[in-house]
């Protein structure tokens, strides 16, 4: 196997004048001018954020269905596992399960945080209060039965004037009363406010309202329209509108489009591990045999340094013997 | 767009509509991103192929200092 | 003391002084004409060499527009057209930054620019690229618009899977904004500074070795083509 020893000796040859400061100044002016030009020509996107108020008003059945699963503990967030709760295993590759090892750091109880908590902020509603009491007193098995039945019933529901109608009669317990009041509260904007992390006036953490909305259909519908979904749209790379996005995420996005990752529930961890290894390899290119000799074998350098070689130095031809150390 | 008000401040060209996408088997990429990638290749090869100014000064330096 | 009197001589630094040691090490590693040379080797003769400084220029534009956005607060760009315009420049500068940085990276790879003791230059550059990616991500999730909502709710899954989500919560605007306007730009800037100082210290990597250098040193190399031929 040919071994190339790093053979660059300190340059003792001629220097030509080169004004680095002027070059840097020109570069800053040029980049600033180009960025300003692009901004004048194309501006930038700013699609307004969705709110739970909008979600519940535009898609009441979708909102109520999602809220029912939050109450019943069967939503994506409810069954997520760490770092939100211990109701799921978390993603793992063989025995490697970082989520589980680190545990719950941002506790979310969807039944309390997303449904009962906001409902308990509604004053002077005896029917609602009674429904909450009934719910809390019921055994777990009954709660699951009520919410599963109601979610099934909602499949036959229709939407009219921001209301959910047409749910067939069934064994739902107090769930319809809870959901009717939650929907009203959401449509007035009350759930947006109630779902913030801390009980203080100033808020900066939007984890709870975001997770609640992400379990529903509105964000996903908007994302689909804008080609932002991960698979099969390669959405990670995309920006809203027709703007260029995060092109540098191409390799990260790629893995999600192919088997076995496309249909694997542990794809997130698997792909993170692959990208971790590739990133490390990227840093270590100078010491990876094979990869570090490709530039010598595919001599693009001959184009870059053609003036230097023509002036009195010839590059080695492909496959030439390695230089003496 | 449901529930969204799009703000475009003074853009000459309005890019605020869902992107056109190029489909090929499992490959799906927005036109804007593909343009950026193609442009990168063009710029890279232009950078290594186009002559760099200052050749005369470098020739003089080589003549005066002698080749390495 | 009048203007015509010479000031007293500064006493020579004590040899055990840390200040003296740091100064002397600094000056030894990077004397002024190495820190800011006014010439470059004659082989620096390609447009590919400007992509490093273009990356720095883009970073300067990012920090400049970022400072203006930070001065006015995170909701300014939604309410004021000037704010939106500055945000547009910031966003396009991100595209330009990654564009020129990757072209710079391609150039350095095909030049095998880690040769001659320059592995740390490559390493600092690679790490800069890798740190710039979360720097951009934190910016995207700090936009306080639909794009931020979507990116945050999607990115959380990969980060949670890796265990990073436990202490890097993309749905926590306050945390992400802090990372974006302070912690990660400081990290990127420090890495770029180290990267550039290493380039100044080692010099720009010479061309891939040529056989006639050995010939000139009196070591015959039968496989080497004659000088000037075969390029």
- Contacts with A, B 14-33, CB within 8 Å: 15-21, 26-33
| Residue among C46, C51, C213 whose CB faces B52 most closely | C46
Beta strands in chain C (DSSP E): 39-41
- pLDDT tens for A151-163 read 999 999 999 888 9
> Is residue B4 scored above 50 in pLDDT?
no
Q: Quick one: pLDDT at residue A160? A: 86
CB of A202 within 8 Å of any CB in chain C? no
Q: Which residues contact A167 (CB under 8 A, 6 or more apart)?
A: A150, A153, A154, A156, A157, A176
Position C11 scores a pLDDT of: 66
A47 touches chain B (CB under 8 A): yes
- Residue in chain A nearest C91 by alpha carbon: A44
For range B19-48, the mean pLDDT: 91
User: How far apart are alpha carbons C55 and C129 in whole angstroms?
Assistant: 11
Does one domain contain both A215 and A235?
no
In 10 A of CB A228, how many CB atoms? 27
Q: Give residue B35's domain range.
A: 19-50
Nearest to C99 among B36, B50, B54 (CB): B36
Whole-number Å distance between alpha carbons of A299 and A307: 15
| CATH match of C47-204 with 3.60.21.10 | no
Residues 6+ apart with CB under 8 A from A287: C119
pLDDT the model gives residue A281 = 97
Using a CB-CB cut-off of 8 Å, the residues of chain A touching B19 are 226-227, 238-239, 241-243
A186 and A53 in contact (C-beta within 8 Å)? yes
Q: What is the pLDDT confidence band of residue A282, given thresholds at 50, 70 and 90?
A: very high
Shared-domain flag, residues A200 and A213? yes
Rounded to the nearest 10 degrees, the angle between the axes of helix C146-161 and helix A207-214 is 90
- The whole-angstrom separation of Cα A61 and Cα A157 is 7
Q: Which of B15, B30, B58 sits opposite A238 (nearest CB)?
A: B30
Please check whether residues A243 and A158 belong to one and the same domain: no
Residues of C in contact with A24 (CB under 8 A): 53, 56-57
Examine the domain organization and report whether A253 and A133 are in the same domain: no
Q: Is residue A251 pLDDT above 60, yes or no?
A: yes
Top residue of B3, B6, B60, B68 to mutate, by most chain A CBs within 10 Å, is: B3
Counting as contact any 3 or more CB pairs under 8 A, the partners of A are B, C
Taking alpha carbons only, the member of C112, C139, C113, C136 closest to residue C195 is C113
CA distance A28 to chain C (A): 4
Query: For residue B56, is it within any domain?
Result: no
User: Chain C closest CA to B9's CA: distance in Å?
Assistant: 6
Residues of B in contact with C47 (CB under 8 A): 46-48, 50, 52
pLDDT attached to residue C133: 97
List of chain C residues whose C-beta atoms are within 8 Å of the C-beta of residue A222: 146, 150
- Residues A106-154 have pLDDT tens digits of 999 999 999 999 999 999 999 999 999 999 999 999 999 999 999 999 9
Q: Of C106, C213, C217, which to mutate for an interface test with B (greatest number of B Cβ within 10 Å)?
A: C106
Residues A138 and A67 placed together within one structural domain of the fold: yes
Domain count across chain A: 2
Neighbours of A310 (CB within 10 A): 11
E strands in A52-191:
158-160, 163-165
State the pLDDT at residue C8: 72
Does the pLDDT value for residue A250 go beyond 50?
A: yes
B24 assigned to some structural domain? yes
pLDDT in tens, A172-204: 999 999 999 999 999 999 999 899 755 678 889
C102–chain B Cβ distance below 8 A for any pair = yes
How many residues are recorded in chain A?
Answer: 325
**Backbone φ, ψ for residue A15 (5° rounding):** -115, 145
- What is the number of structural domains in chain B? 1
Q: A239 lies in a domain?
A: yes
User: In whole angstroms, what is the distance from residue B68 CA to residue B58 CA?
Assistant: 13
pLDDT over 70 at C217, yes or no: no
Is any Cβ of chain C less than 8 angstroms from the Cβ of B2? Answer: no
Token readout for C92 is 């396009």
Q: Are A126 and A247 members of one domain?
A: no
Q: Which residues of B touch C99 (CB under 8 A)?
A: 36, 39-40, 43
Between CA C213 and CA C207 the distance in angstroms is 12
* In a domain? residue A157: yes
pLDDT > 80? residue B8 = no
Is the confidence at residue C143, as pLDDT, over 60?
yes
Give residue A206's domain range.
52-223
Within 10 A of B41 (CB to CB), how many other CB atoms are there?
11
Q: What average pLDDT does the segment C39-63 reach?
A: 97
Q: Which residues are bridge partners to A165 per DSSP?
A: A158
Indicate if A118 and A59 belong to the same structural domain.
Answer: yes
Mutate to test the interface with A, among B12, B13, B15, B47 (most CBs of A within 10 A): B15
Q: Measuring CA to CA, which residue among C205, C202, C209, C114 is closest to residue A324? A: C209
Q: Are residues A133 and A230 in the same domain?
A: no
Same domain? For A58 and A202 the reply is yes
CB C173 within 8 A of CB A208: no
Number of B/C CB contacts below 8 angstroms equals: 45
Rounded mean pLDDT of chain C? 89
Is residue B9 a part of any domain in this protein?
Answer: no
Q: Which CA distances in Å does A115 have to A81, A87, A190, A208?
A: 19, 18, 12, 11
Nearest to residue A71, comparing CAs of A212, A198, A221, A220?
A: A212
CB A150 within 8 A of CB A170: yes
Is A7 part of any domain?
no
Assigned domain for A298 exists: no
Q: Would residue A45 count as lying in a domain?
A: no
Cβ <8 Å between B3 and A304: no
Whether A96 and A155 share a structural domain: yes
ipTM surpassing 0.85, yes or no?
yes
User: In this structure, is residue A82 part of a structural domain?
Assistant: yes
Q: Using CA atoms, how far apart are residues A75 and A80, in angstroms rounded to an integer?
A: 8
């Amino acid at each position: 196997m040919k071994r190339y020893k790093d053979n660059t000796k300190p340059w003792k040859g001629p220097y030509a004048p080169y004004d680095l400061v002027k070059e840097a100044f020109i570069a800053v002016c040029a980049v600033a001018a180009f960025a300003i030009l692009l901004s004048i020509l194309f501006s930038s996107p700013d699609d307004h954020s969705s709110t739970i108020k909008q979600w519940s008003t535009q898609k009441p059945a979708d909102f109520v269905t999602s809220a029912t699963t939050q109450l019943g503990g069967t939503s994506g967030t409810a069954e997520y596992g760490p770092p939100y709760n211990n109701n799921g295993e978390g993603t793992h590759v063989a025995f490697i399960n970082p989520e589980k090892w680190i545990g719950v750091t941002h506790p979310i109880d969807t039944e309390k945080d997303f449904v009962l908590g906001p409902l308990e902020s509604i004053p002077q509603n005896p029917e609602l209060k009674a429904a909450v009491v009934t719910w809390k007193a019921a055994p777990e098995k009954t709660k699951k039965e009520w919410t599963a039945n109601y979610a099934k019933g909602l499949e036959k529901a229709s939407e009219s004037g921001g209301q959910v109608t047409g749910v067939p009669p069934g064994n739902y317990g107090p769930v319809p009363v809870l959901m009717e009041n939650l929907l009203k509260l959401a449509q007035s904007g009350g759930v947006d406010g109630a779902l913030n992390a801390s009980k203080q006036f100033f808020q900066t953490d939007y984890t709870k309202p975001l997770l609640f909305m992400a379990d529903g259909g509105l964000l996903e519908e908007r994302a689909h329209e804008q080609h932002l979904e991960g698979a099969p749209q390669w959405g990670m790379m995309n920006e809203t509108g027709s703007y260029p996005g995060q092109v540098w995420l191409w390799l990260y996005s790629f893995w999600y489009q192919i088997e076995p990752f496309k249909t694997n529930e542990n794809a997130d961890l698997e792909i993170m591990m692959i990208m971790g290894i590739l990133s490390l390899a990227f840093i270590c290119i100078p010491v990876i045999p094979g990869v570090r000799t490709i530039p010598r074998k595919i001599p693009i350098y001959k184009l870059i340094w053609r003036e230097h070689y023509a002036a009195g130095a010839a590059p080695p031809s492909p496959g030439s013997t390695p230089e003496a150390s | 767009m449901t529930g969204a008000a799009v703000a475009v401040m003074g853009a000459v060209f309005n890019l605020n509509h869902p992107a056109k996408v190029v489909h090929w088997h499992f490959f799906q990429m927005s036109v804007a991103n593909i343009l950026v990638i193609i442009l990168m290749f063009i710029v890279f090869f232009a950078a290594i192929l186009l002559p760099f100014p200052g050749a005369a000064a470098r020739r003089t330096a080589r003549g005066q200092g002698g080749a390495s | 003391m009048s203007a015509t009197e010479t000031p007293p001589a500064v006493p020579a630094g004590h040899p055990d002084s840390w200040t003296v040691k740091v100064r002397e090490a600094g000056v030894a590693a990077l004397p002024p004409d190495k820190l800011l040379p006014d010439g470059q080797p004659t082989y620096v003769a390609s447009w590919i060499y400007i992509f490093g400084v273009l990356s720095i220029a883009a970073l300067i534009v990012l920090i400049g527009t970022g400072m203006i956005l930070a001065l006015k607060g995170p909701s300014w760009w939604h309410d004021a057209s000037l704010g939106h315009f500055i945000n547009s420049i910031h966003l396009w500068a991100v595209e330009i930054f990654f564009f020129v940085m990757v072209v710079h990276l391609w150039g350095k790879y095909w030049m095998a620019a880690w040769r001659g003791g320059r592995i740390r230059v490559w390493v600092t550059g690679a790490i800069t690229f890798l740190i710039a990616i979360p720097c951009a991500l934190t910016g995207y999730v700090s936009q306080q618009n639909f794009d931020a909502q979507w990116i945050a709710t999607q990115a959380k899954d990969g980060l949670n899977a890796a265990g990073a989500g436990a202490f890097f919560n993309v749905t926590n605007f306050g945390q992400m904004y802090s990372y974006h306007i302070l912690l990660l730009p400081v990290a990127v800037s420090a890495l770029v500074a180290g990267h550039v100082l290493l380039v100044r210290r080692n010099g720009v990597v010479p061309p891939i070795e040529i056989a006639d250098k050995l010939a000139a040193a009196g070591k015959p190399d039968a496989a080497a083509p004659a000088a000037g031929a075969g390029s």
